[in-house]
Amino acid sequence: MNNLALSNFLNSLERNGLLPAIANKEIQNFIGNQTKAVGKLFLVLAALIGATFISAGVFSIVSHNWDDFPKNVRGIISFIPVLAGIFVYYLAIFKHSKSTSWIEASSLFLMLMIGASMALVSQTYQMDGDIDFFIFVWLCLTIPLFYIARASGIAFFYLILACKFIVPHFGFSLFGPSDFSLNDKYYYFWFFLLGVLPHFYITLNKQGDKQGFRSIFLGWLLGIVFLIAMPIIVKSGYLWWSTAAVIGYYLLGKRFYGGNISSLGRPFQTISLVILYHTMIYFTIEKIFPYIFGSNDIREIGTWNDEQLSFYFLGLFLMITFTFIAVRQRLKGVELNRYIVLLPFLVVFLVGVHYLNEVFDFDMVSFACLFVNFYILGFGINALIKGRRFSNVLYMIYGLFIIANLMWVRYFDMDIAFWLKGLFFIGVGLIFLLIHRNSQDEFEA
Amino acid sequence: MKKKVVFLVFALVLIAVPIYIIFSSEAILEKGHQHKIHLEGYDPFDPFRGKYLMLNYDFSTPCEEGMKEGDEGFAVLEKDETGFSHFAMVTFQKPNHSDYVKCTVKYVYDNEAEIEVANIGKYFINESKAKRAEKILIKAVQTNLDDAYATIRVLDGECRLEEVYVNGKTLKSYFGK
């Protein structure tokens, strides 16, 4: 039902004496505010898309290459994009400072015009230059835009460009051997990621646990980009880092986004649950157990370089710190998922099992994998119970997905007699049908 | 007031960056030593800066012992009796004369390094001239290697592409200017 129809319907309820006038007014106010918020988002999106297309047009005009003009004229022309960008930005922050769409679109336009001016100058002076350096300077000049007028939409383009520093090098050769190497300028990515984090912190509503669209957008963007970049930008101790990410994301989400109503509105908690599941399912596979826990073998610490040492211990430090915070909060009675809080202890236990096997030849790997299976099973059941208790159907689906996925992985790697496996999985299927039967009354009623 | 000062400083920084690039490039083109280097070219496309001719040079150069892939070094330019220059040696130490450019070692084989030198590899050209310019250049290179060359200017390790010559004329002069 659209807003006009809903309004008419409410008025008819009031006329027929079914709804008090005051309640009708309150509901109509609420609907009006909701529409305004979505309308604002529409304005921002329209302005951003407009700024992107205009900038693309400017880049195309730049690409024509006006080499018929003398060099000094071309030098002056080079300043036109950045001056136009500065002028629009000036209008936004001094004449339309209350308009989010003006601020966002002008910031994006200025960001792109900085690049256009640099491209024009380098074209005039035939500088093929270094694309990494070009992007580095461009992004350095973009950072103030996050803080002067606090624009957030540019974060998308900014982080996409920053990802240039994590793209691996693929050397393809028709006749010789092809090569592959990781990007050795990954630290630029760290620099630019850290450059936007204070802006993210500023946008957060620190008084409450509910966030608006801007912080939700930044939460999803930063959460996903860091997650994708992590295998490349973390040079050792990946296990500590991924565990720290699970707990860190969860704590951050719980503190600042916990009051948002949907999973979409709680980016860090949602991402945390996805990484948690993804990480733990690997722990259950016995064949890859030594590769997960054997990477960065601590016995070879003497051969590690400074980069590996610092990442290893920083990851360990972050994991311990977040675990400490989580345990303390849990002891104070804060509602935290116990399976997430216990994850670091599980990881340390599994690392211990690995070294017991490696150093003392005491094989407990099968037992550890079995234990993780039960841990995941417990986590899935816990999600089902909690989802039901809080009427959160999405969380219930997550629980169902965890258990089902775990079982499917086991179906393919369980090395037992087929008849026993068959009976076991028939039993599993019956349990799911039992869950269906128990929930049927509640959801079909 | 504070906001205005911040805005003004930011705007000045934004304008200062192209000014710096222009002035440093002008300094190299005016005061730098000129070198002629043989080349060949083709015609790709840059999404930000338009059409250009990719200029290839002989970047295979003897290097100092111990040099490896990814090392930064200094490529020494030497003129031969015909007036053309070539990269004669890659060193770790900065030479005590001005005829050198900063370079990166791509790979080393048998004490010969394949190097990468910034700012002389692309000749940006108007979109309507690029295809014809490429044909002119390729024809010249195929006929006689001495017919096509680029002039570059080097100053304190930095270099800029000055002009591309084909049969003694600048490439641009083939298009009426």
Mean pLDDT score, A324-337: 91
Is the pLDDT reported for residue A249 higher than 90?
yes
**pLDDT score recorded for residue A195:** 95
Query: Please, which pLDDT band fits residue B36 given cuts at 50, 70 and 90?
Result: confident
Is the pLDDT reported for residue A360 higher than 70?
yes
Nearest residue on chain B to A70, alpha-carbon basis: B177
Mean pLDDT score, B85-98: 89
Euclidean distance between CA atoms B72 and B92, whole angstroms:
7
Interface of A with B (CB under 8 A): 59, 62-68, 75, 78-79, 82-83, 85-86, 89-90, 93-94, 110, 114-130, 137, 141, 144, 148, 184
B172:A122 CB<8 A:
no
Residue of A125, A180, A183 best to disrupt the B interface, most CBs of B under 10 A: A125
**Helix (H), strand (E) at residue A179:** strand A179-181
**pLDDT score recorded for residue A321:** 96
pLDDT greater at residue B48 or residue A384: A384
With tokens 């005009």, the residue in question is: A61
The domain limits of chain A are: 237-413
Is the pLDDT reported for residue B40 higher than 70?
no
Query: Please, which pLDDT band fits residue A1 given cuts at 50, 70 and 90?
Result: low
State the smallest CA–CA distance between residue A220 and chain B in angstroms. 29
CA A39 to chain centre: 26
Q: Which of A170-179, A287-296, A405-414, B88-97 has the lowest mean pLDDT?
A: A170-179
Nearest residue on chain B to A140, alpha-carbon basis: B14
**pLDDT score recorded for residue A313:** 94
Query: Cα–Cα distances in Å, from A23 out to A6, A8, A12, A14, B8?
Result: 14, 14, 13, 9, 51
Euclidean distance between CA atoms B149 and A121, whole angstroms:
24
Query: Please, which pLDDT band fits residue A156 given cuts at 50, 70 and 90?
Result: very high
Euclidean distance between CA atoms B173 and B177, whole angstroms:
5
Q: Which of A171-180, A182-191, A346-355, A436-445 has the lowest mean pLDDT?
A: A171-180
Mean pLDDT score, A423-445: 80
**ipTM, 2 decimals?**
0.78
Percent of chain B residues topping a pLDDT of 90: 16
Mean pLDDT of chain A: 86
Is the pLDDT reported for residue A343 higher than 80?
yes
Query: Cα–Cα distances in Å, from A326 out to A94, A223, B29?
Result: 44, 19, 62
**pLDDT score recorded for residue A84:** 93
Tens-place pLDDT, residues A11-47: 888 888 888 888 888 887 777 766 677 778 888 889 8
Of B18, B52, B172, the CB nearest to A79: B18
Interface of B with A (CB under 8 A): 3-4, 6-7, 10-11, 13-15, 17-18, 21-22, 25, 29, 46-52, 70, 118-127, 129, 160-161, 172, 177
Residue of B48, B160, B171 best to disrupt the A interface, most CBs of A under 10 A: B48
Nearest to B41 by CA among B168, B149, B146: B149
B78 strand-pairing partners: B86
Is the pLDDT reported for residue A144 higher than 70?
yes
Is the pLDDT reported for residue B177 higher than 60?
no
With tokens 């659209």, the residue in question is: A2
**pLDDT score recorded for residue A174:** 63
State the smallest CA–CA distance between residue A157 and chain B in angstroms. 15
pLDDT greater at residue A128 or residue A58: A58
Is the pLDDT reported for residue A269 higher than 80?
yes
Tens-place pLDDT, residues A84-103: 999 999 999 999 988 989 99
Amino acid letter, residue A390: F
CA B119 to chain centre: 4
**pLDDT score recorded for residue A424:** 84
Query: Please, which pLDDT band fits residue B111 given cuts at 50, 70 and 90?
Result: confident
Residue of A90, A126, A179 best to disrupt the B interface, most CBs of B under 10 A: A126
Residue of B49, B102, B117, B175 best to disrupt the A interface, most CBs of A under 10 A: B49
**pLDDT score recorded for residue A315:** 95
Of A123, A141, A148, the CB nearest to B49: A123
Select the highest-mean-pLDDT range: A10-24, A61-75, A316-330, B150-164: A316-330
**pLDDT score recorded for residue B136:** 86
Residue A356 burial by CB count (10 A; 0-12/13-18/19+): exposed, middle or buried?
middle
**pLDDT score recorded for residue B41:** 61
**pLDDT score recorded for residue A226:** 94
pLDDT greater at residue A250 or residue B132: A250
B126:A66 CB<8 A:
yes
Euclidean distance between CA atoms A260 and A264, whole angstroms:
9
Of A120, A121, A127, the CB nearest to B119: A127
A64:B126 CB<8 A:
yes
Is the pLDDT reported for residue A445 higher than 80?
no
CA B118 to chain centre: 6
Of A68, A93, A122, the CB nearest to B49: A122
**pLDDT score recorded for residue A327:** 95
Euclidean distance between CA atoms B149 and B128, whole angstroms:
22
Tens-place pLDDT, residues A123-136: 888 887 678 888 99
Mean pLDDT of chain B: 85
A68 contacts in chain B (CB < 8 Å): 126, 177
Write the DSSP symbol of residue A66.
-
**pLDDT score recorded for residue A365:** 84
Please report which residue ranges of A91-125 form alpha helices under DSSP H.
Answer: 100-124
DSSP chain B: -HHHHHHHHHHHHHHHHHHHHHHHHHHHHHHSEEEEEE-EEE--EETTTEEEEEEE---EEEB-TT--TT-EEEEEEEE-TTSBEEEEEEESSPPSSS-EEEEEEEEEETTEEEEE-TTSSEEE--TTTHHHHHHHHHHHHHH-GGGEEEEEEEETBEEEEEEEEETTEEGGGGGT-
Is the distance from CB of A237 to CB of A311 less than 8 angstroms? yes
DSSP A351-398: HHHHHHHHHH----HHHHHHHHHHHHHHHHHHHHHHHHHTT-HHHHHH
Nearest to B159 by CA among B55, B53, B20, B31: B31
Nearest to A269 by CA among A253, A257, A284: A253
B167, HSE (Cβ side, Cα atoms, 13 Å) = 11
Show the CA angle centred on residue A232, arms to residues A230 and A234, nearest 5°. Answer: 60
Tokens, residue A169: 């090098």
A123:B47 CB<8 A:
no
Of A63, A116, A148, the CB nearest to B7: A148
